Amino acid sequence: MLPPQFGRRKHRGYYRDQFETDEGETTLLLGILLALWGVYWLVVHWIDWAVGNLMVWWVEPLTLFVTLPIMGFFAMIIDKYGANPIYWWPMFWGTKVVIARDVEFYVDFDDEEFVQNNGGRTNVYCGTDSNEDLYIKFRTRKDAVIYSLRNL
């Protein structure tokens, strides 16, 4: 009989930011969003009442139009990089290695397996650019050089 291996968890291939929602969850999330917006609007009304009704009437409804582009920007980022802000580093830095299309590695490439084998999502990002060319972005230049010397 083997002794128990405490502290070792088997990776199940699941990220917390990969989820599916059904109709009930969507309405619940929209309800929570509307409730938060209602609380925000209530706070704006209280501030307006405290300063003697100095805000013009159209400021309060237009706060939604100011927040929608900001929320849209974050929705695009979350769609591309995931919900965890730790994984947003490829927007700002990293060393990009472009993979040529004529390499057989390009055809059989599995990005999730590659990312897990090379340090996880905090160290490696795989993506495609506007020309559908595959690239790998490493957080450190050292990792990019080592990968390039071993594989390209």
pLDDT in tens, 90-99: 888 899 888 7
Residue 1 has pLDDT above 60, yes or no: no
Instruction: Give rounded-to-5 percent helix, strand, coil for the chain.
Output: 55, 10, 40
Clarify whether residues 91 and 37 are in a common domain.
no
Q: What is the span of the domain harbouring residue 68?
A: 23-83
pLDDT band at 21 (very low <50, low <70, confident <90, very high): low
Rounded to two decimals, the pTM is: 0.55
Instruction: Tell me the average pLDDT across 100-107.
Output: 67
Clarify whether residues 92 and 136 are in a common domain.
yes
Which run of H or of E encompasses 127?
strand 124-128
* Number of domains present in the structure of the chain: 2
Instruction: Tell me the average pLDDT across 101-121.
Output: 76
Last residue of a domain, one of 41, 63, 83: 83
Residue 26 has pLDDT above 80, yes or no: no
Are 134 and 109 in contact by the 8 Å Cβ rule? The answer is yes
Average pLDDT, the chain: 77
